[in-house]
Amino acid sequence: MARKVAGFGEGDLRTLAGARSFERGLGYLDAVTGLEVGDTSVTAVVHGTDVYEVELALGGGAGISGWCDCPYGQEGNFCKHCVAVGLTVLRQAEAIPRRRAAARARAVGLEEWLEGLSRDELVALVREQIAGDRELRRRLELRAAAAHSDLGTIRERVLALVDPRSFARYGYVGYADALGYARQVEEAADALRALASGKHAAQAVDLAEEAIRVLGEAYGEIDDSDGVVGQAATAVAEAHLEACQAARPDPERLAQWLVGQLLGDGNDATDFDPLDYAHVLGSAGLARLRHLAAEARRRSPNGWAEQYLLERLVKAEGDVDALVALYAKDLVPSGATHVRIAEELEAADRADEALAWAERGLRDTAEEAHVDGRLADYVYARYKSAGRMAEAVAVRRDRLLAERSLAAYQQLRAAARTADCWETERDAALAVLREGAHREHGGWYGGPVLIDALLDDGDLDAAWREAADGADDRQWQQLADHLREIRPADALAVYLRLVEPLKEPTGDRVYERMARLLLDARACHQALGTEDEFSAYLAELRAELKRRRKLMTLLDRHGL
């Protein structure tokens, strides 16, 4: 398996999959069947929890890539099934070049044969194929109907394709059937595009809207975990746009339909952007759209969809003051809206007003613990660029008072160092965190932020003193890791204490953590010259936990 085939080797598979998926892939080598080698790809079936189809692309400039229809593979990952197929290909390395050459020869032979067939022979061949392939037959029937302007047949077939009932075996379309249904919806989108490109664009608009309605009503009863139905529905929406561009329907009527689609209950299946229709709507349609959006906003002042639609339309008009006024009606407590206003004003070359809005945001959020970080960053950057360093440091200081986090401490430290005043700021900042340590504010996983800050400063002695009053396990281990070289006895005591609670739970993650701590403890004993003590401790630990075979195997692997 060490050799390379089609530009990849075992190491490439391990890199793509990661160590965990690669190791799991080794267990599926005997589950690979139906290996087919093409000129540029390999396909196979892998029998796991289900039967999965795998395709590996070979010999491309970007190296090997893989696709699998298992859930993990459909998220874009190079899964264990891809690994198993890749390893199978490597096992057959000597035969692969010959099989790829044979695939190329077959492709050339097929092309030459097709080109040599007469018209009657080609028609007979197509008839033979559609007799045994229902999906191909449907596609060709739609093309024939479009070619003959058979609008009744086209409408019937498109609506049949978007009808989910044949896939709803239990009253809804399950995960296993979603892909099949999505393929039908994509066929409907193709048919609508073909209709729109001919003489019947107006009919394509109406039919697309009817199909979108059906999709919207059905989508709530579909398990579209992988988003395949949503993608197909978006293709139908794109066909609607193409049809509108060709047919130029009444702009005010189109505006009414778009608002209903964007704000209605059945809008989850498709993703419309009203500005995509700007050229079709024209000034009259956009004005109507804006009016309808404003009315909807008044009826539902807290509706996010109504707010988003109105914002998009106002922004498209380029009226910055109107957009600022719209944003200002709903200033969220995190300060995110203040940032948006500042950014819009700055983009309009109104920097002074932008800064004033951001400063207002700092005042409005002064007592909030959770504030959009961009707000303080915005004001700080403007103060710094203007040479107003005392005010810039004050921005970071105020944020630390409200937030008491390691990030806020780090930002204050960076600002104060730039202003050459960190020595005077540090004591006050630590006092703020020391006070916070007695409240409900914690570090990343519950320990005091004060200890994180001292560790981040490299002040290990102070961190060790503070840890005695309430560090969490993460902070203790971080302390021990820093102290191992200079104070191995202190670090050893921490590592051994952290091992104790790991004796009860089980699982790979627990065992890996225990092994890591034991390796650290051994390093401390080696630095202290007390290796015999560690050997005795380890022997006692192994005897105590000997029934945990996976742990014993892991300890053996680490030489423990």
pLDDT at 154: 86
The amino acid that residue 23 corresponds to is: E
For residues 376 and 339, the answer to whether their CB atoms sit within 8 Å is no
CA–CA distance from 309 to each of 233, 285, 297, 314, 315 (Å)?
Answer: 20, 15, 9, 9, 10
Judge if 145 and 112 occupy the same domain.
no
* Low-confidence spans in the chain with pLDDT less than 70: 1-6, 59-62, 266-267, 436-446
pLDDT at 97: 86
The token duo for 542 is 């192994």
Number of domains in the chain: 4
Q: How far apart are CA 496 and CA 513, in angstroms?
A: 12
For residues 515 and 560, the answer to whether their CB atoms sit within 8 Å is yes
Q: Which of 419, 439, 457 is the last residue of a domain?
A: 457
The token duo for 176 is 């296993």
Q: How far apart are CA 550 and CA 296, in angstroms?
A: 62
pLDDT at 62: 59
Residues of the chain by 3-state class (helix, strand, coil), percent to 5: 70, 5, 25
The tally of CA atoms less than 13 A away on the side-chain side of residue 209 is: 16
For residues 379 and 355, the answer to whether their CB atoms sit within 8 Å is yes
The token duo for 95 is 């035969």
List the domain range (segments joined by +) for residue 92: 10-116
The amino acid that residue 520 corresponds to is: D
Judge if 110 and 138 occupy the same domain.
no
Partners of 53 in the β-ladder: 45
Judge if 108 and 141 occupy the same domain.
no
Judge if 419 and 495 occupy the same domain.
no
Q: Which of 87, 116, 145 is the last residue of a domain?
A: 116
pLDDT at 266: 62
pLDDT at 441: 44
- For 226-248, give one letter per residue: b (16+ CB within 10 A) or e: bebbbebbbbbbbbbbbbbebbe
Judge if 165 and 102 occupy the same domain.
no
Partners of 45 in the β-ladder: 33, 53
Flag whether the pTM goes above 0.75.
Answer: no
Judge if 91 and 192 occupy the same domain.
no
Three-state secondary structure readout of 59-121: CCCCCCEEEECCHHHHCCCCCHHHHHHHHHHHHCCCCHHHHHHHHHHHHHHHHHHHHHCCHHH
Quick check: is 188 in a domain?
A: yes
Q: How far apart are CA 344 and CA 314, in angstroms?
A: 12
Quick check: is 512 in a domain?
A: yes
Quick check: is 293 in a domain?
A: no
Q: Which of 55, 81, 116 is the last residue of a domain?
A: 116
Quick check: is 366 in a domain?
A: no
pLDDT at 369: 76
Structural element, H or E, at residue 55: strand 51-57
Structural element, H or E, at residue 286: helix 278-299
Judge if 138 and 244 occupy the same domain.
yes
Quick check: is 437 in a domain?
A: yes
Judge if 140 and 111 occupy the same domain.
no
Quick check: is 477 in a domain?
A: no
Judge if 498 and 550 occupy the same domain.
yes
DSSP 277: G
Quick check: is 506 in a domain?
A: yes
Quick check: is 500 in a domain?
A: yes
Alpha-helical regions (H) of 318-405: 320-328, 336-347, 351-364, 373-385, 389-403
Judge if 239 and 138 occupy the same domain.
yes
The tally of CA atoms less than 13 A away on the side-chain side of residue 232 is: 24
Judge if 194 and 98 occupy the same domain.
no
65-68 sheet: strands from edge to edge = 32-37, 41-47, 51-57, 65-68
pLDDT at 59: 65
Judge if 169 and 237 occupy the same domain.
yes
Q: Which of 199, 240, 200, 190 is CA-nearest to residue 216?
A: 240
Q: At 32, phi and psi to the nearest 5?
A: -85, 125
